[in-house]
Homo-oligomer: A and B are copies of this chain.
Amino acid sequence: VVTMQQVADRAKVSISTVSFVVNDSKPVTPQTRQRVLEAIDALGYRRNTMARALASRRSHILALIYPLLEQRNHHTFVSAAATAAREHGYSLVLWPLHSDEVSTEIASLIQAGSVDGVLLMEVQLEDERVTRLREAEAPFVLIGRTRELEGIDYVDIDFEQTTETAIDDLARLGHRDFSLVIEDLSETPLAGYAPPLRTEEKFRAEISARGFTGAVFRVPHRAHAVSALTDNLLREAPRTTAVICMHDEASLALVSTLPHRGIGVPRDMSITAIATSTAIPDLMDPALSHYAAPGWELGRGAAEALIARLEGRDGPSVQTLVPCVPHEGRTVGPAATRHAELGSA
């Protein structure tokens, strides 16, 4: 391998000068710089990452900590974070963490110097990992939000805004009787996961503020629970004309099974999915109207916020909320029909 010293020799300068041009950490005359640059590519020099990390105490590596759960697809998010990191000269390492390892592992991750900062996913309202990261004085950025947000950096989906917009859009079409479908994570390691909780809260608030009716269905990620949803919904909330669904599998199930029950979509029932994470909605038949989770923006935003912190721009906390992006489909329509039917029955 070729080292800085060899470059220095060839360019007839000292090793520090090479360092200065490589990192441009100090001014260097155009001529010397030129000589160094030539030597560098004549020799094919690459600065050794590990040596740099050791000497500078900065590894230029970011860790992405996330719980290991089959059913979740973080792909867009993760790629965005990795891409953004790379653009800034950082690498992203994956740190899938079982919930029982939390307490111990996190601190040592930082103390071992292998990582400059941490991106934390699937944040819960009360999250032990956040506590640990604070204790370890590790720079970190949340993707998501804890309940307590004082002084912490986060990037999250604006569930409240998205919920409100979804209700607005449906209300404008005459809908007054809503159902909300959210994930039931109570029996999983993600119990306490904020998004469904925030969404439910906002949903209830909006519904009652507007004098609408609203039922809430919590659906676990088990196939049979998802399949049972359609009948449950029709039985327990028969007035419903519009479903807001934050549960990718459930929306698929609803759209594909409602017609078998004689309920036309969107003729009798409108369905809107929110915070969807895949491309599936566009391919359903009829195409699912939805608000897509801004996975790419979140991943990039989180990585960049973290890097900004690491580079010393301290300023106020980065607290960004990104609303979901509306995609028109064919599962939303006016409420008139079904309402009238029920009313006259």
Are A49 and B91 touching (Cβ within 8 A)? no
Q: Which residues of B contact A1 (CB under 8 A)?
A: 111, 113
- Compute how far the CA of A73 lies from the CA of B70 in the bound complex, rounded to whole angstroms: 12
Are A223 and B282 touching (Cβ within 8 A)? yes
Q: Is A68 an interface residue (CB 8 A)?
A: yes
Q: Is A256 an interface residue (CB 8 A)?
A: yes
Q: Which residues of B contact A73 (CB under 8 A)?
A: 73, 75, 278
Q: Is A171 an interface residue (CB 8 A)?
A: no
Q: Is A32 an interface residue (CB 8 A)?
A: no
**Among B68, B83, B252, B257, contact of A68 (Cβ-Cβ < 8 Å):** B83
- Compute how far the CA of A200 lies from the CA of B21 in the bound complex, rounded to whole angstroms: 53
Are A76 and B68 touching (Cβ within 8 A)? no
Contact indicator per residue, chain A 67-85, by CB within 8 Å of chain B (1) or not (0): 0101111111011001100
Are A114 and B49 touching (Cβ within 8 A)? yes
Are B49 and A112 touching (Cβ within 8 A)? yes
**Among B44, B79, B95, B283, contact of A96 (Cβ-Cβ < 8 Å):** B79
- Compute how far the CA of A94 lies from the CA of B108 in the bound complex, rounded to whole angstroms: 21
- Compute how far the CA of A112 lies from the CA of B82 in the bound complex, rounded to whole angstroms: 18
**What copy number does this chain have within its complex?**
2
Contact indicator per residue, chain A 272-283, by CB within 8 Å of chain B (1) or not (0): 000000111011
Q: Which residues of B contact A210 (CB under 8 A)?
A: none
Contact indicator per residue, chain A 233-266, by CB within 8 Å of chain B (1) or not (0): 0000000000000000100110111001000000
Size range of the chain A interface in the assembly: 35 or more
Are A91 and B114 touching (Cβ within 8 A)? yes
Q: Which residues of B contact A285 (CB under 8 A)?
A: 227, 253, 256-257, 260
The verdict on A112 contacting B253 (CB below 8 Å), with A79-B96, A92-B93, A260-B285 known, is no
- Compute how far the CA of A1 lies from the CA of B280 in the bound complex, rounded to whole angstroms: 49
Q: Which residues of B contact A253 (CB under 8 A)?
A: 283, 285
Q: Which residues of B contact A134 (CB under 8 A)?
A: none
Q: Which residues of B contact A340 (CB under 8 A)?
A: none
Q: How far is the CB of A47 from chain B (nearest CB, A)?
A: 7
Which partner residue on chain B sits nearest A54 by CB separation? Answer: B50
Contact indicator per residue, chain A 96-137, by CB within 8 Å of chain B (1) or not (0): 100000000000100111100000000000000000000000
- Compute how far the CA of A30 lies from the CA of B79 in the bound complex, rounded to whole angstroms: 47
Most chain B Cβ neighbours within 10 Å, of A1, A94, A111 = A94
Q: Which residues of B contact A256 (CB under 8 A)?
A: 255-256, 284-285
Contact indicator per residue, chain A 37-73, by CB within 8 Å of chain B (1) or not (0): 0000000101111110110000101000000101111
- Compute how far the CA of A187 lies from the CA of B152 in the bound complex, rounded to whole angstroms: 44
Q: Which residues of B contact A79 (CB under 8 A)?
A: 68, 94, 96
Q: Is A11 an interface residue (CB 8 A)?
A: no
**Among B54, B93, B108, contact of A61 (Cβ-Cβ < 8 Å):** B93
User: Could you tell me which A residues sit within 8 Å of B by CB distance?
Assistant: 1, 44, 46-51, 53-54, 59, 61, 68, 70-76, 78-79, 82-83, 86, 91-96, 108, 111-114, 223, 226-227, 249, 252-253, 255-257, 260, 278-280, 282-285, 287
Q: With A91-B94, A256-B256 given, can you name 6 additional A-B contacts, CB distance below 8 Å?
A: A49-B59, A50-B113, A68-B79, A91-B93, A91-B95, A260-B285
